[in-house]
Amino acid sequence: MFIELVKSFILGIVQGITEWLPVSSTGHMLLVDEFLKLNFPKDFTDMFFVVIQFGSILAVCVLYFDKLNPFSRHKDKTQKRHTWMLWEKVVIACIPAGVVGILLDDLIHDLLYGPLVIAVALIAYGILFIILENSNPHPTTTSLEKLSFRKAFLIGVFQMLSLIPGTSRSGSTILGAVFLGCERSVAAEFSFFLAIPVMLGASGLKMLKYGLAYTSAEIGVMLVGTITAFVVSLVVIRFFMNYIRKHDFKVFGWYRIVLGILVLLYFGVLA
């Protein structure tokens, strides 16, 4: 049992780091699991990878509590109205991926969860990040208040691409938002907020499919992974927001390309 808790701790670290960076948390989790292999039934492992994302969601809620809270006593009527509008934009942006995810979740998992798909997605989106940054985009949306409902929905359409493992939910939404004219910090924050309903819904769906009868060992593993993901996410989100205020996304693009090639080599796809 101790070994499984250590594995869960490591996976929590991976989740907390990769959920918010545009490098694909699902892809990293699946690849790390190739080496660690949780000693639990496959159905539980699949559910575990999704449920520990709750720790990452909680980190966003803690860090951005005031910005996301429309009832804050520190806000005037205008600020509260902007907060409600932000939540409306988040809900609208979640519709495309939410509908497709519910309808095609099992099909996507059965057909696309493999090293080749992960590697191709890592490389393809890495190239897109580099191309986008080389085009020297000039943002027209410099705050969340200026983000239109139409643009929010289109970002949600880009988020559908994250259903493909290796794509990255944050990667697809940030890439889409910057392509649509959002400033990097606006793109990143909106991506964080989109994660709240999307990941809560995904976690709830997986738990319902698996059932609610857990052994003490399963509960312990989920708690360790979730708490670890929460703590690590707090650090990573702060780092990421400070980083992109001074740098572009090219380093993540190159990282994705290198990792994708290593995945192809490791799994013998290029052999």
pLDDT of residue 210: 67
Work out the pLDDT band at 270, boundaries 50, 70, 90: low
Of 175, 133, 173, 178, the closest CA to residue 153 belongs to 173
Token readout for 170 is 């944050």
- Asked if residue 271 has pLDDT above 60, the reply is no
Of 177, 140, 175, 152, the closest CA to residue 85 belongs to 152
pLDDT of residue 197: 87
The three-state DSSP-derived secondary structure of 27-75 is: HHHHHHHHHHCCCCCHHHHHHHHHHCHHHHHHHHHHHCHHHHCCCCCCC
Question: What pairs with residue 183 in β-bridges?
Answer: none
Say which residues have a Cβ less than 8 Å from residue 128's Cβ, sequence separation at least 6.
175, 253
Per-residue pLDDT tens digits for 141-192: 999 999 999 999 999 999 888 888 888 888 899 999 999 999 999 999 999 9
